[in-house]
């Protein structure tokens, strides 16, 4: 039997739960009565519990007969075994448990969070975070998503505090000096969605969204930061009721900001919890990126109220049914709310993050077996979220948005209050579209990787057998009239690295929905086809000028153009949409990493983008320069800085330091991004000096400067900082008035290059000065920065155990991603030895993926380092 799954002979239908947290002693007392359906007679009941002490357990039948149980808790398996002296007969039983636990500081289960008020006084609140498998830390339960039940909760608290849970309060009374708050019954739902928050909380006025009261809840004094989050909350809730064709499944909705929070936010039905940066923001002082972050996260969690909460995956292998849909609908809602943000273009950045990991031999299919809790946690990655959302978007575009939505509505209607498998979604989409959905979709969801679609011109005749991706033929000469498209799996490394097996289904094809735009005689035409075979041929019209393969940019694949086709596209960049230019550069850079395109060709290509005005295209360009910065020798760095100056300079000169009247928000963000690229990666003294002037002039009134520029100024000065500036920023981090301001100064402090100050910053990641929700991300930033990585890597090796004790598990895992920036052969060896000797398991395939990314970076250095130096010396 699977040691991580509970037997189904006894299942819960209802929890009557009473919890009494004590914010002084950081403990809680609990009591619950679980209504059970016993399906087969048994003398033993298994359920989940960990870090709880169970003081009493007894079970009662309808008749009132009561049996007490012997309790055995096994911390390793996170289970509790109840044994009875005589068999429990099939039927309905009520299990009563009395228990105690600790309000821990690891940001999971029932935990404590601390914050200081404006006067500097410390306060504590209690909150929960149960996904994936931590409800069992707060109360003994059947902690699996398929075991849905009704929750009827009561919180017993200090009368000065406020208590929140998933549903509205039905009764509040004071008993023996304690406030007893009772909440309405929930819908049948999974344990991981239960939530409690207790503290000195303040709520905004509720806005009514189709009858549902929607509030933002936060610690005192922060309500002035709530309006923006509440606005996107209300907008998206309304949009989803329409999109899904189902009413919101709760009786109220609170968006709750928690000062210490491991993830970004959590979709507890009716009581969504957030880290403060993801909900609270001052709209007038925030950058576009900061506002977009809040809009994204709120829209994402709201989407889960249906996808995840009303209909839930049966087990963690199907997590994408939650997360990919929430990510997809987050785009739909934000795009409808602020069309001028061009959210689907920016989604290209997310898609490309998924293409990166999915181009590894150590990738996994979107749906992937999960056993242990660690493996469930490891499922929250770019493959579940970003690849999942990308293939949904590709499918939506292929079927048509209306047909796709009809399928989604069927699915929700049919499975509401229940659990599903991926096949259930296929059936619903199949009914709506009358298309063979499994045939098209299985390859994208159940198989690892994705295709590289190669495009070349040919006069005639299909060519001979499959070629090796990493040994392409000499470029085909243009002879005339056919476009040849071939597919094969894309990987960066020609061979799996040591320890990775080659994939078993190599050579099988994907069904690739292709949209090809052909330009001939000055006219565009779009050809749609489903590429099922290895190769397809399209006849080209007379007067052929150019061809763009992934038109509209929705496909989850890469395109490799034969050199002549690429040249034709580069000659007419103006005719490409921003997402198409994005994909062109992104695929070219991937081709460099894979050894399919010489680095020097790519660097020449970047020179054609000096006039580029899309921030996402610039993100790829500057991201590739930052990668080169990690493989270049220190002595050559000034030359790379000069290249950055050459590429970025012209647009910055055109944009200037101040917004033009009537300029849109995205352009203002672009200015901020590019100033920052010039001041940090380009290390331009003039830009740093100007930033210092802006800072000095506006210290007392930052509102005189555009927020995007102001945030860039702080980042640039952080990079250029001496000790005085560093200390100033550290002080401003501590006294920041908004979560965004706090983050800007925190990362500016981490950007400082002075070695002694880098050491100080590292110490602060473990001495309590930085929150444990942020500290691992600061370490990650230092690991991947050229000025911090040597010190950070030493620090991680030395302090690993302490980090493991202090940081939430998700943070520790994400921190390790920073090792991918340790791009020298020596470091690579050290990294392998460290993780092997310590026997560190990050869950799933996470560590193997980081190691393969590191291999790719080191291989790039070995293959292209000398060429890069020569190119820059020219």
- Cβ nearer to ligand BES, comparing 265 with 857: 265
Sheet with 558-561, edge to edge strand ranges:
535-539, 482-489, 451-458, 558-561
Cis, peptide link before residue 132, omega less than 30° from 0: yes
What whole-number distance in Å separates Cα of residue 190 and Cα of residue 779?
34
What whole-number distance in Å separates Cα of residue 305 and Cα of residue 301?
7
Minimal distance, residue 351 CB to ligand BES, in Å: 14
Minimal distance, residue 377 CB to ligand BES, in Å: 6
What whole-number distance in Å separates Cα of residue 14 and Cα of residue 12?
6
60 contacts: CB under 8 Å, gap ≥ 6? 66, 67, 93, 94, 96
292, 301, 330, 545: the catalytic one is 301
- The residue range among 259-267, 673-681, 751-759, 847-855 that interacts with ligand BES, by the rule CB under 6 A, is 259-267
Binding residue count for ligand BES, defined by CB under 6 A: 17
Strand, coil or helix: 87 = strand
Among 296, 580, 774, 817, binds ligand BES (CB under 6 A): 296
- Cβ nearer to ligand BES, comparing 297 with 626: 297
Among Zn ion, ligand BES, none, partner that 265 touches (CB below 5 to 8 angstroms by kind) = ligand BES
- Cβ nearer to Zn ion, comparing 190 with 435: 190
Residue 744: which of 729, 758, 762 has the closest Cα? 729
**476 — phi, psi (to 5°)?**
-70, 135
Among 380, 490, 747, 793, binds ligand BES (CB under 6 A): 380
What whole-number distance in Å separates Cα of residue 674 and Cα of residue 707?
14
- The residue range among 178-186, 260-268, 397-405, 410-418 that interacts with ligand BES, by the rule CB under 6 A, is 260-268
- Cβ nearer to ligand BES, comparing 303 with 548: 303
By CB under 6 A, residue 405 contacts ligand BES: no
- Cβ nearer to ligand BES, comparing 78 with 296: 296
What whole-number distance in Å separates Cα of residue 397 and Cα of residue 36?
45
Minimal distance, residue 243 CB to Zn ion, in Å: 17
Decide: 252 and 213 in contact? Cβ < 8 Å: yes
Decide: 345 and 666 in contact? Cβ < 8 Å: no
Phi-psi label, residue 213: left if phi above 0, alpha if psi -120 to 50, beta otherwise: beta
What is the pattern of x (binds ligand BES, CB under 6 A) and - over residues 128-147? ---xx---------------
What whole-number distance in Å separates Cα of residue 669 and Cα of residue 671?
5
Minimal distance, residue 810 CB to ligand BES, in Å: 6
216 contacts: CB under 8 Å, gap ≥ 6? 203, 204, 223, 226, 229, 230, 233, 254, 255, 256, 257, 279, 280
Q: Which residues pair with 560 in a beta bridge?
A: 454
- Cβ nearer to ligand BES, comparing 297 with 751: 297
By CB under 6 A, residue 295 contacts ligand BES: no
Catalytic (active site) residue 301: yes
354 contacts: CB under 8 Å, gap ≥ 6? 382, 383, 385, 386, 387, 390, 556
Residues between 311 and 340 that touch Zn ion (CB under 5 A): 323, 326
What whole-number distance in Å separates Cα of residue 4 and Cα of residue 78?
9
By CB under 6 A, residue 264 contacts ligand BES: yes
Q: How many helices (H) does the chain have, and how many strands (E)? A: 25, 29
Q: What is the DSSP letter of 148?
A: -
Burial of 119 (0-12, 13-18, 19+ CB in 10 A): exposed
- Cβ nearer to ligand BES, comparing 193 with 201: 193
What is the pattern of x (binds ligand BES, CB under 6 A) and - over residues 300-329? xx--x------------------x--x---
What whole-number distance in Å separates Cα of residue 126 and Cα of residue 112?
5
- Cβ nearer to Zn ion, comparing 71 with 326: 326
What whole-number distance in Å separates Cα of residue 430 and Cα of residue 435?
5
Q: Name the H helices within 63-129.
A: none
In this structure, are strands 558-561 and 451-458 parallel, antiparallel, or unpaired?
Answer: parallel
Long-range contacts of 32-35 (CB under 8 A, 24+ apart): 32/96, 32/97, 32/99, 32/139, 32/140, 33/94, 33/95, 33/96, 34/94, 34/95, 34/97, 34/141, 34/149, 35/92, 35/93, 35/94, 35/149
What is the pattern of x (binds ligand BES, CB under 6 A) and - over residues 265-294? xxx---------------------------
Catalytically active residues are 301
Site residues for ligand BES per CB under 6 A? 131-132, 263-267, 296-297, 300-301, 304, 323, 326, 380, 385, 810
Site residues for Zn ion per CB under 5 A? 323, 326
């Amino acid at each position: 039997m699977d040691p991580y799954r509970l037997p189904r002979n006894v299942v819960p239908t209802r929890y009557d739960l009473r919890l009494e947290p004590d914010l002084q002693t950081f403990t809680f007392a609990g009591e619950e009565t679980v209504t059970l359906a016993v399906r087969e007679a048994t003398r033993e009941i298994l359920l989940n519990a960990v870090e709880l002490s169970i003081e009493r357990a007894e079970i009662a039948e309808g008749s009132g007969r009561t049996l007490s149980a012997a309790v055995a808790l096994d911390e390793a398996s996170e289970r509790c075994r109840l044994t009875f002296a005589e068999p429990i007969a099939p039927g309905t039983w009520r299990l009563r448990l009395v228990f105690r636990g600790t309000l821990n500081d690891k940001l999971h289960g029932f935990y404590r969070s601390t914050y200081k008020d404006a006067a500097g006084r410390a306060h504590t609140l209690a909150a929960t975070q149960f996904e994936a498998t931590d409800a069992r830390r707060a109360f003994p339960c059947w902690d699996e998503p398929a075991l849905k039940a009704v929750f009827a909760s009561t919180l017993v608290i200090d009368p000065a505090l406020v208590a929140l849970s998933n549903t509205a309060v039905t009764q509040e009374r004071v008993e023996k000096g304690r406030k007893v708050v009772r909440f309405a019954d929930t819908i049948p739902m999974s344990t991981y969605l239960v939530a409690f928050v207790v503290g000195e909380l303040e709520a905004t006025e509720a806005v009514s969204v189709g009858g549902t009261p929607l509030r933002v809840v936060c610690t005192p004094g922060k309500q002035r930061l709530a309006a923006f989050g509440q606005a996107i909350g209300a907008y998206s809730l309304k949009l989803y009721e329409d999109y899904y064709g189902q009413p919101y499944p709760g009786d109220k909705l609170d968006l709750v900001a928690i000062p210490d929070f491991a993830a970004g936010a959590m979709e507890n039905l009716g009581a969504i919890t957030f880290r403060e940066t993801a909900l609270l923001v001052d709209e007038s002082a925030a950058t576009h990126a900061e506002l977009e972050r809040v809009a994204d996260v709120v829209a994402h969690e709201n989407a889960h109220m249906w996808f995840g909460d009303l209909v839930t995956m049966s087990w963690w292998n199907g997590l994408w049914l939650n997360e990919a849909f929430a990510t997809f609908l987050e785009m739909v809602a934000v795009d409808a709310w602020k069309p001028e943000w061009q959210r689907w273009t920016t989604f290209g950045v997310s898609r490309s993050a998924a293409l990166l990991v999915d181009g590894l031999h150590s990738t996994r299919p979107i749906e992937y077996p999960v056993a242990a809790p660690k493996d469930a946690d490891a499922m929250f990655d770019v493959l579940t979220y970003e690849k999942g959302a990308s293939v949904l978007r590709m499918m939506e575009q292929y079927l048509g948005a209306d047909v796709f939505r009809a399928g989604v509505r069927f699915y929700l209607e049919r499975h509401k209050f229940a659990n599903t498998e991926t096949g259930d979604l296929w059936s619903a989409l199949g009914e709506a579209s009358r298309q063979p959905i499994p045939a098209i979709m299985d390859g994208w969801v159940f198989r690892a990787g994705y295709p590289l679609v190669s495009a070349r011109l040919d006069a005639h005749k299909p060519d001979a057998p499959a070629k090796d991706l990493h040994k392409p033929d000499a470029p085909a000469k243009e002879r005339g009239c056919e476009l040849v498209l071939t597919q094969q799996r894309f990987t960066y490394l020609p061979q799996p690295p040591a320890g990775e097996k080659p994939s078993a289904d190599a050579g099988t094809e994907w069904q690739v929905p292709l949209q090809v735009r052909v330009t001939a005689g000055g006219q565009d035409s779009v050809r749609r086809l489903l590429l099922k075979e290895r190769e397809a041929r399209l006849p080209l019209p007379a007067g052929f000028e150019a061809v763009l393969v992934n038109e509209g940019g929705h496909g989850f694949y890469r395109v490799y153009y034969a050199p002549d086709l690429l040249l034709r596209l580069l000659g007419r960049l103006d005719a490409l949409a921003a997402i198409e230019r994005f994909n062109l550069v992104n695929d070219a850079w991937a081709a460099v990493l894979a050894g399919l395109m010489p680095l020097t060709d790519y660097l020449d290509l970047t020179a054609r983008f000096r006039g580029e005005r899309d921030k996402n295209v610039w993100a790829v360009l500057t991201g590739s320069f930052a990668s080169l910065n990690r493989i270049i020798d220190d002595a050559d760095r000034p030359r790379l800085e000069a290249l950055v100056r050459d590429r970025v300079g012209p647009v910055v000169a055109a944009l200037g330091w101040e917004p033009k009247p009537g300029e849109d928000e995205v352009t203002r963000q672009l200015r901020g991004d590019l100033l920052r690229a010039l001041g940090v990666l380009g290390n331009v003294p003039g830009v740093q000096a100007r930033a210092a002037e802006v800072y000095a002039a506006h210290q007392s009134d930052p509102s005189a400067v555009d927020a995007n520029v102001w945030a860039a100024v702080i980042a640039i000065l952080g990079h250029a900082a001496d000790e005085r500036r560093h200390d100033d920023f550290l002080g401003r981090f501590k006294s920041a008035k908004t979560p965004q301001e706090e983050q800007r100064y925190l990362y500016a402090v981490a950007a400082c290059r002075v070695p002694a100050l880098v050491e100080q910053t590292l110490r602060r990641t473990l001495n309590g000065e930085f929150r444990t929700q942020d500290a691992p991300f600061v370490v990650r930033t230092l690991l991947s920065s050229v000025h911090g990585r040597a010190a950070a890597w030493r620090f991680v090796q030395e302090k690993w155990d302490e980090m493991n004790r202090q940081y939430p598990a998700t943070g520790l895992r994400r921190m390790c991603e920073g090792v991918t920036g340790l791009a020298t052969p020596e470091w690579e060896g050290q990294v392998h030895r460290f993780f092997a000797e310590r026997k560190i398991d990050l869950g799933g395939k996470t560590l193997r993926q980081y190691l393969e990314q590191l291999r790719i970076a080191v291989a790039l250095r070995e293959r292209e380092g000398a060429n890069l130096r020569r190119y820059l010396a020219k």
